[in-house]
């Protein structure tokens, strides 16, 4: 069971969280203006990262906020968690998702 | 008979005799014995038969690493635990134990013929042999193999015991309470840090319990342990757990502990849980798991009486048992000399010490020779003899590449030692990096992946003083890492001890080219021949060899076998051990009962059983319930003599002709409030809400952005900035989550907030032509007249004096209302409505009737008519879409070309040619009769019922291009033949919808 | 019929350490900081702005559940007066105030074993350092979602959706059997 740093509540057990997919996939402002390929990409295409993955979690059984996290998929270590709407933090070693 | 209890010594209570039976025969032991020590004291040598060859096996070790002596312990028919290590089973009065994998008896086992046939049973024998015929696998081969090659049998009755679970948090968790662990816990807890210390054994002390002559800081080892534990116990910041195995290391320093609470008691109190699962989150973990002595690999090394030297020493010092009366020690390490010397001192004859190292010299050999013990160096073991126990060992001496000076030595116990293997299981489970240490010939912890440290002999530290000081240092450092500072401690130790260094691998044999049949993995019966065969057949990766031969894959997880297997593979392949690499260490460290994982989750506590405020009333009325998620919902209310069909027919007729009463409280409800609430709902649902007037409601459809139906419900405007949204029962949580997602992450600028009110309101549906008459006398501040309160009207008022939100809505096609009252009032209001409706013949109905009534009207149920691939148009709900809206969730996807393909599956009605036949939900539909498999399936039945009001069966179905097929005859192939059906529109009853507006 | 006559509580067993649920007035208040500040004026106590903390004054309490979500607790029968007071105080502030008095029940657990009882099935550390007096949070207890609040050192209050209350109480009683044994 992971220990996840909620940006509002602090470190909390994974039991309180729900995973919510890849982060920073913005819904197009005007979906009707998207090409079929753009819409397909938005709907279905996701990274399958070995390494640092930007992903969403929701502290559903806590403050109920969605937030973003950078997690290394090879070690399960979280490098950062940050509130929705905040820019992706710069990691100390310069690693990128 | 070879083992015996010596006159004195050991930690057993000689004043407390314990009676027990093994394979039906009565024995006596002492309090403090294990089953293994007590049986050894009684001269028992054969404990079980081996997994594959049914070879007789004795006890090989004294702790949890035991590969051979697996037994079944029985309390009663239901409490019967197989595959327990006799070395860990604590004796209690009346204990009943059985050996395993033998028939008819331990001493004579008919399947021991497998052993004679061993040339025919090589590695991967099963894969190679039972290939054909395929059908024989399940019926013939598998049952035979399962019976022949096996472990103990589990009980068939439900487990009557209770199991407990706990979460725990601490600064420092110390795993293992040997010298390093105790020292670590002492320093760490002195700092004020919260410390947990656990050990798998019933007593703290670890290997120190085997050292009666050692002294630490002037106290005997036993006194030091006692004082240290007393000190720890006196500290409020310390939790001590005996009989507790750290079985798994999970991410982010979560450690699984298995505490055995009543297993050792003759009469466990019924309220006490039998075992407990601890999930411990520790800021720092100290692994002080110690090390395990390694066997030597030589022909006949599995014979009963062959035993680890350290185990013999444990039996002597802890249990006062001499494992033999005439022993031989074969060793590759200095440490094992202690066993021979201690047994010698206890009056046991030591026939020979055969040291496999040609260059062995120094203190241990000198002391042994001074004691008059014959010591040879550069020795090897060529074989052993003895039918049910070792009686003779053949020793050879290596010289110039050949074995010479062969001699046979009589003995009744053969002690072996290849040195010690540090227990790195937990460290490896934590994904820490191991590194091979040439000097120790062992893998040692190197780079940590989690906040943990190893201490003592599990990281290759040799010698009690060094181990204690290492423990103290690691304890202090771990406490400091959690913000608690403390000075470390130096221990003064006096003890006779020798180096634990040794050598892994296989003893040289006369003919090196022909690998001998020497056992590497005792529990899975894997020999050097099997490993050699695997390599001959081309397997070179140690992970492949492991799986092909099953070496290290038994329940002992290869504690005694892995290093030897690895060393043998390395030497055969001509590579170094680190080049061959290590297989993964898996949890659990020792087997764990399923009970602790179930914990409290059984019976009524298996899952929350959610009931509505009116539940007890329905129970009293004899309702039959169905599970809808965690909810219990009344399915129908049978009267005496009625089956479901009769009850549902009656309930349906009552609603159509008079009035029915239905508990709809489980529907999800969300209060959407704020100045942007209408905007938000318009962006989310396919419908428009900007124009919805206060006091009106609308049927809403929610899609995902892929354009498929996700949920539906009724959305009522309570005030300009306040909506009461209902969802399906099963969709309540996920719709709430989806709404929060869009609000929080896509449209955070909207001033609109959500609150779940599912359980705030009890919902009582009153449906049928007489519904208004029933409610009228009970409500106040409300005008029920059709003009004031038309279909889809919403109002607030009071009923029975309590506040009410009243919805005029219908999921039945009849005049209907849904009365929402605060939940605590639900039952009282329900009873009042029921009483008021008596003169109108009011009939409570359940979900089954609700399903039939809505199907007669062609109303869909999300999840029944939809399956995540159905668009509003597919479901015949295209009319609900507000075409003028620039966007809503799913709109872009609905514009995709494929979403308008004429051959999409569309919802239609089906009428069977024979009106008595009710189709089966899920049945496939074909266009032409008489097809052979594979048929061309063009759709499936989603709902099918008998309709009382129509006097015939009806069905809904999703059919390719269905709406264009109305009037056509299609076929539903079933085991009893094809059923002809006519395609119809989805509404079967009151097509004009006049009744709704009554 | 009057409210009081019809008012029923969830029928739950009780014990020395278990306080049977008492009816209460409850609201979920959601809104921006300015609205929360205004609501505090109307409710009579400043709403907590620190994560996972409760504010109390007399028999009223406000529990921080999320950055824009507060649970307001008051004695039974005060729904209408609180609604009116907050409506006045919140005039001009966009917000959401929803009556959830009947949505959940409050279960009190007290005594020296309270922490021990809850830690069996709640994955949060509940020692006083990690979960001090005045802390509150949504979390899980077994398979149920709960709001957990520690009003005093040896007192916890669970706010549980009503249909989960029986499960939570029965689970607590099952755990409690161990301490007796």
Give the percent of chain B with pLDDT over 90.
88
Classify residue B139 by its DSSP letter. I
- Give which of B161, B162, B167, B832 to mutate to test C binding, by max C Cβ within 10 Å: B167
Which chain C positions have a beta carbon within 8 Å of A17's beta carbon? none
Which chain C positions have a beta carbon within 8 Å of A4's beta carbon? none
Identify whether residues B968 and B831 lie together within a single domain.
no
Question: For chain A, which residues lie within 8 Å of any Cβ of chain C, measuring from their own Cβ?
Answer: 1, 8-10, 12-13, 15-16, 61-65
Burial of C180 (0-12, 13-18, 19+ CB in 10 A): exposed
C145 touches chain A (CB under 8 A): yes
Kindly report which listed range (B198-207, B512-521, B964-973) carries the lowest average pLDDT score. Answer: B512-521
Nearest to B171 by CA among B76, B86, B280, B269: B280
Cα separation, B849 vs B854, whole angstroms: 9
Per-residue model confidence (pLDDT) at position B707: 98
- Give which of A1, A24, A38 to mutate to test B binding, by max B Cβ within 10 Å: A1
CATH number, position B179: 3.50.50.60
In a domain, B86, yes or no: yes
Quick one: CA dihedral C55, C61, C64, C68, positive or negative?
negative
Among the partner-chain residues C2, C104, C122, the one whose CB lies closest to the CB of B167 is C122
Shortest Cα distance, chain B CAs vs residue C57, angstroms: 25
Identify whether residues B80 and B27 lie together within a single domain.
yes
At what angle are helices B562-573 and B542-549 packed, to 10 degrees?
120
In a domain, B248, yes or no: yes
Residue B786 or residue B136, greater confidence: B786
What average pLDDT score do residues B329-344 get? 97
Give the 3-state DSSP-derived string for B214-278, with helices as H, strands as E and coil as C.
CEECCEEHHHHHHHHHHHHHHCCCEEEECCEEEEEEECCCEEEEEEECCCCCCCCCCCCCCEEEE
Torsion of CA B570, B574, B580, B583, to 10 degrees: -30
Structure-token pair, residue C144? 């149920």
- Does residue C5 carry a pLDDT above 90? no
pTM: 0.94
Per CATH, the number for A3-83 is 3.30.2270.10
End position of a domain, from candidates B494, B518, B534: B494
pLDDT digits (tens, 9 = 90+) for B15-71: 999 999 999 999 999 999 999 999 999 999 999 988 888 889 999 999 999 999 999
Put simply, the answer to whether B254 touches A58 (Cβ < 8 Å) is no
Per-residue model confidence (pLDDT) at position B967: 97
pLDDT digits (tens, 9 = 90+) for B249-278: 999 999 999 999 999 999 999 889 999 999
B972 touches chain C (CB under 8 A): no
Burial C87-110 (b: 16+ CB within 10 A, else e): eebbeeebbbbbbbbbbbbbbbbb
- Does residue B494 carry a pLDDT above 80? yes
Cα separation, B987 vs B990, whole angstroms: 8
In a domain, B595, yes or no: no
Identify whether residues B35 and B100 lie together within a single domain.
yes
CATH number, position B696: 3.30.1360.120
Identify whether residues B969 and B981 lie together within a single domain.
yes
CATH number, position B111: 3.10.20.440
* C 38-57: CB under 8 A from B: none
Strands B326-331 and B413-417: parallel
What average pLDDT score do residues C70-87 get? 97
What average pLDDT score do residues B479-483 get? 98
Label residue B379 by pLDDT band (50, 70, 90): very high
Longest dimension (CA), chain C: 59
Classify residue B452 by its DSSP letter. E
Which chain A positions have a beta carbon within 8 Å of C145's beta carbon? 61
A partners (3+ CB pairs within 8 A) are: B, C
Cβ(C72)–Cβ(C60) under 8 Å? yes
Cβ(B402)–Cβ(B511) under 8 Å? no
Domains delineated in chain C = 16-180 (3.30.1360.120)
Shortest Cα distance, chain A CAs vs residue B887, angstroms: 7
Identify whether residues B830 and B864 lie together within a single domain.
no
pLDDT digits (tens, 9 = 90+) for B668-701: 999 999 999 999 999 999 999 999 999 999 999 9
Per-residue model confidence (pLDDT) at position C3: 45
Cα separation, B920 vs B945, whole angstroms: 9
Cα separation, B21 vs B42, whole angstroms: 12
Among the partner-chain residues A43, A66, A76, the one whose CB lies closest to the CB of B706 is A43
What average pLDDT score do residues B943-963 get? 98
Q: Which residue of B has its CA nearest to C92?
A: B675
Question: For chain A, which residues lie within 8 Å of any Cβ of chain B, measuring from their own Cβ?
Answer: 1-3, 13, 18, 20, 26-28, 30-32, 34, 36, 39, 42-43, 56, 58, 60, 64-66, 75-76, 84-85
What average pLDDT score do residues C86-113 get? 96
Nearest to B186 by CA among B469, B427, B450, B423: B469
Among the partner-chain residues B252, B741, B887, the one whose CB lies closest to the CB of A66 is B741
Put simply, the answer to whether C103 touches B756 (Cβ < 8 Å) is yes
In a domain, B968, yes or no: yes
Put simply, the answer to whether B895 touches A84 (Cβ < 8 Å) is no
* B 187-226: CB under 8 A from C: 194
Label residue B1 by pLDDT band (50, 70, 90): very low
How large is the C-alpha radius of gyration of chain A? Answer: 15
Cα separation, B779 vs B814, whole angstroms: 20
- Does residue B142 carry a pLDDT above 90? no
In a domain, B896, yes or no: yes
In a domain, B27, yes or no: yes
Put simply, the answer to whether B740 touches A20 (Cβ < 8 Å) is no
Q: Kind and range of the H or E element at C118? A: helix C114-119
C138 touches chain B (CB under 8 A): no
pLDDT digits (tens, 9 = 90+) for B800-823: 999 999 999 999 999 999 999 999
- Does residue B653 carry a pLDDT above 70? yes
C-alpha triplet B149, B150, B156: angle, nearest 5° = 140
Shortest Cα distance, chain B CAs vs residue A43, angstroms: 7
Q: Which residue of A has its CA nearest to B895?
A: A32
Identify whether residues B815 and B899 lie together within a single domain.
no
- Give which of C96, C148, C159, C164 to mutate to test B binding, by max B Cβ within 10 Å: C96
- Does residue C67 carry a pLDDT above 70? yes
Per-residue model confidence (pLDDT) at position B387: 87
Put simply, the answer to whether B281 touches A13 (Cβ < 8 Å) is yes
Total number of domains in chain B: 5
Q: Which residue of A has its CA nearest to C70?
A: A63
Shortest Cα distance, chain B CAs vs residue C21, angstroms: 12
Burial of B212 (0-12, 13-18, 19+ CB in 10 A): middle
Cα separation, C52 vs A79, whole angstroms: 24
Work out the mean pLDDT of chain B and round it to a whole number.
Answer: 94
What average pLDDT score do residues B600-624 get? 96
In a domain, B790, yes or no: yes
Cα separation, B724 vs B754, whole angstroms: 10
Listed by start position, the domains of chain A span 3-83
**Which residues on adjacent β-strands are paired with residue B670?**
B725, B756
What average pLDDT score do residues B464-488 get? 97
Classify residue B289 by its DSSP letter. -
Which chain C positions have a beta carbon within 8 Å of A63's beta carbon? 51, 65-67, 69, 137-138
- Does residue B134 carry a pLDDT above 70? no
Label residue C178 by pLDDT band (50, 70, 90): confident
pLDDT digits (tens, 9 = 90+) for A16-64: 999 999 999 999 999 999 999 999 999 999 999 999 999 999 999 999 9
In a domain, B150, yes or no: no
- Does residue C2 carry a pLDDT above 90? no
Identify whether residues B627 and B692 lie together within a single domain.
no
Domain that holds residue B923: 854-997
Quick one: CA dihedral C114, C119, C121, C125, positive or negative?
positive
Put simply, the answer to whether B169 touches C180 (Cβ < 8 Å) is no
Per-residue model confidence (pLDDT) at position B902: 94
């Amino acid at each position: 069971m992971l220990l996840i740093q909620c940006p509002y509540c602090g470190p909390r057990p994974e039991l309180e969280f729900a995973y919510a997919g890849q982060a920073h996939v913005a819904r197009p402002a005007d979906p009707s203006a998207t090409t079929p390929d753009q819409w397909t990409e938005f709907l279905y295409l996701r990274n399958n990262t070995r390494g640092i993955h930007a992903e969403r979690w929701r502290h559903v059984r806590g403050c109920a906020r969605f937030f973003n996290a950078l997690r290394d998929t090879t070690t399960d270590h979280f490098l950062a968690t940050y509130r929705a709407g905040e820019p992706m933090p710069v990691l100390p070693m310069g690693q990128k998702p | 008979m070879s083992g015996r209890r010596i006159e004195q010594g050991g930690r057993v209570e000689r004043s407390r005799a314990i009676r027990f039976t093994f394979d039906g025969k009565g024995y006596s032991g002492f309090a403090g014995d294990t089953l293994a020590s007590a049986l050894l004291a009684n001269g028992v040598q054969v404990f079980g038969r081996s997994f594959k060859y049914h070879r007789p096996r004795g006890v090989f070790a004294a702790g949890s690493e035991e590969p051979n002596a697996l037994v079944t312990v029985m309390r009663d028919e239901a409490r019967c635990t197989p595959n327990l290590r006799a070395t860990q089973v604590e004796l209690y009065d009346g204990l009943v134990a059985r050996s395993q994998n033998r028939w008819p008896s331990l001493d004579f086992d008919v399947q021991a013929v497998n052993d004679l046939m061993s040339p025919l049973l090589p590695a991967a024998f099963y894969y190679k042999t039972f290939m054909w015929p395929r059908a024989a696998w399940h019926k013939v081969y598998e049952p035979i193999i399962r019976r022949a090659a096996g472990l103990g049998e589990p009980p068939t009755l439900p487990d009557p015991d209770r199991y407990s679970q706990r979460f725990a948090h601490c600064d420092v968790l110390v795993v293992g309470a040997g010298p390093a662990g105790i020292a670590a816990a002492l320093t760490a807890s002195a700092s004020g840090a919260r410390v947990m210390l656990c050990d798998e054994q019933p007593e703290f002390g670890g290997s120190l319990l085997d050292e009666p002559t050692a002294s630490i800081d002037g106290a005997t080892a036993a006194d030091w342990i006692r004082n240290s534990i007393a000190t720890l116990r006196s500290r409020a910041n310390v939790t001590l757990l005996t009989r507790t195995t750290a079985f798994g290391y999970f991410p982010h320093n979560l450690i699984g502990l298995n505490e055995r609470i009543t297993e050792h008691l003759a009469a466990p109190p019924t309220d006490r849980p039998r075992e407990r699962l601890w999930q411990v989150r520790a800021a720092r973990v100290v692994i002080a798991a110690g090390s395990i002595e390694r066997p030597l690999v030589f022909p006949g090394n599995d014979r009963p009486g062959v035993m680890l030297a350290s185990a013999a020493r444990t039996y002597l010092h802890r249990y006062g048992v001499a494992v033999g009366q005439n022993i031989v020690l074969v060793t590759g390490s200095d440490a094992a000399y202690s066993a021979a010397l201690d047994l010698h001192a206890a009056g046991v004859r030591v026939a020979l010490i055969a040291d496999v190292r040609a260059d062995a010299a120094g203190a241990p050999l000198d002391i042994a020779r001074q004691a008059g013990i014959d010591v040879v160096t550069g020795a090897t073991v060529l074989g052993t003899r003895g039918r049910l126990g070792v009686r003779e060992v053949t020793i050879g001496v290596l010289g110039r590449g050949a074995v010479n000076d062969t001699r046979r030595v009589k003995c009744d116990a053969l002690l072996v030692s290849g040195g010690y293997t540090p227990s790195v299981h937990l460290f490896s489970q934590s994904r820490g990096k191991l590194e091979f240490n040439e000097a120790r010939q062992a893998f040692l912890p190197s780079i940590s992946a989690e906040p943990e440290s190893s201490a003592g002999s599990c990281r290759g530290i040799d010698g009690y003083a060094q181990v204690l000081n290492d423990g103290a240092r690691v304890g202090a450092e771990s406490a400091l890492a959690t913000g608690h500072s403390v000075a470390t401690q130096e221990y003064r130790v006096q003890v006779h001890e020798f180096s634990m260094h040794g050598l892994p691998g296989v003893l040289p044999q006369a003919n090196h080219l022909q690998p001998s049949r020497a056992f590497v993995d005792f529990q899975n019966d894997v020999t050097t021949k099997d490993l050699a065969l695997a390599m001959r057949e081309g397997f070179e990766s140690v992970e492949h060899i492991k799986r092909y031969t099953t070496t290290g894959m038994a329940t002992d997880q290869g504690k005694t076998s892995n290093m030897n297997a690895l060393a043998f593979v390395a030497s055969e392949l001509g590579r170094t051990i680190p080049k061959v690499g290590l297989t993964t260490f898996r949890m659990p460290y020792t087997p764990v009962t399923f009970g602790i994982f179930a914990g409290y989750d059984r019976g009524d506590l298996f899952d929350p059983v959610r009931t509505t405020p009116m539940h007890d009333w329905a129970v009293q009325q004899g309702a039959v319930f169905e599970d809808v998620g965690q909810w219990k919902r009344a399915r129908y209310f049978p009267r005496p003599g009625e089956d479901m069909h009769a009850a549902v027919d009656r309930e349906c007729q009552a609603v159509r002709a008079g009035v029915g009463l239905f508990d709809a409280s489980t529907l999800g409800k969300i209060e959407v409030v704020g100045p942007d609430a209408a905007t938000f709902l318009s962006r989310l649902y396919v419908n428009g809400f900007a124009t919805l007037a206060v006091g009106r409601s609308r049927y809403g459809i929610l899609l995902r952005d892929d354009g498929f139906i996700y949920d539906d419900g009724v959305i009522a405007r309570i005030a300009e900035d306040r909506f009461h949204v209902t969802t399906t029962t099963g969709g309540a949580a996920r719709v709430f989550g989806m709404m929060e997602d869009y609000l929080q992450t896509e449209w955070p600028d909207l001033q609109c907030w959500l609150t779940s009110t599912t359980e705030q309101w009890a919902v009582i549906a009153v449906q049928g032509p007489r519904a208004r008459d029933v409610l009228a006398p009970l409500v106040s501040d409300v005008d029920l007249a059709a003009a004031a309160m038309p279909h889809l009207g919403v109002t607030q008022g009071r009923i029975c004096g309590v506040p009410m939100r009243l919805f005029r809505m219908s999921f039945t096609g009849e005049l209907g209302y849904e009365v929402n009252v605060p939940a605590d009032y639900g039952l009282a209001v329900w009873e009042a409505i029921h009483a008021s409706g008596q003169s109108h013949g009011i009939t409570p109905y359940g979900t089954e009737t609700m399903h039939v009534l809505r199907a007669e009207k062609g109303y869909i149920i999300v999840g029944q008519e939809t399956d995540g691939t159905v668009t509003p148009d597919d479901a015949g709900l295209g009319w609900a879409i507000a075409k003028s809206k620039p966007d809503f969730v799913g709109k872009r996807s609905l514009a995709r070309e494929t979403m308008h393909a004429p051959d999409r599956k569309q919802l239609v009605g089906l009428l069977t040619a024979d009106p008595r036949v009710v189709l089966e939900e899920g049945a496939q539909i074909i266009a032409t009769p008489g097809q052979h498999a594979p048929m061309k399936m063009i759709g499936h039945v989603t709902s099918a019922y008998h309709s009382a009001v129509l006097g015939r069966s009806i069905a809904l179905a999703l059919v390719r291009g269905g709406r264009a097929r109305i009037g056509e005859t299609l076929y539903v192939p079933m085991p009893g033949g094809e059923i002809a059906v006519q395609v119809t529109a989805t509404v079967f009853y009151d097509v004009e919808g006049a009744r709704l507006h009554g | 019929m009057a409210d009081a006559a019809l008012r029923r509580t969830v029928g739950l067993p009780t014990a020395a350490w278990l306080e049977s649920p008492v009816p209460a007035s409850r609201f979920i208040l959601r809104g921006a900081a300015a609205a929360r500040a205004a609501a505090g004026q109307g409710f009579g106590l400043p709403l907590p702005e620190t994560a996972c903390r409760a504010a109390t004054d007399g028999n009223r309490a406000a529990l921080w559940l999320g950055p824009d979500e507060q649970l307001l607790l008051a004695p039974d029968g005060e729904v209408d007066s609180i609604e009116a007071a907050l409506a006045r105080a919140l005039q001009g502030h966009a917000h959401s105030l929803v009556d959830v008095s009947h949505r959940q029940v409050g279960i009190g657990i007290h005594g020296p074993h309270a922490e021990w009882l809850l830690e069996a099935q709640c994955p949060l550390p509940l020692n006083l350092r990690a979960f001090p007096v005045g802390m509150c949070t949504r979390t899980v207890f077994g398979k149920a979602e709960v709001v957990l609040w520690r009003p005093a050192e040896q007192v916890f209050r669970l706010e549980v959706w009503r249909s989960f209350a029986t499960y939570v109480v029965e689970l607590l009683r099952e755990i409690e059997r161990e301490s007796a044994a």
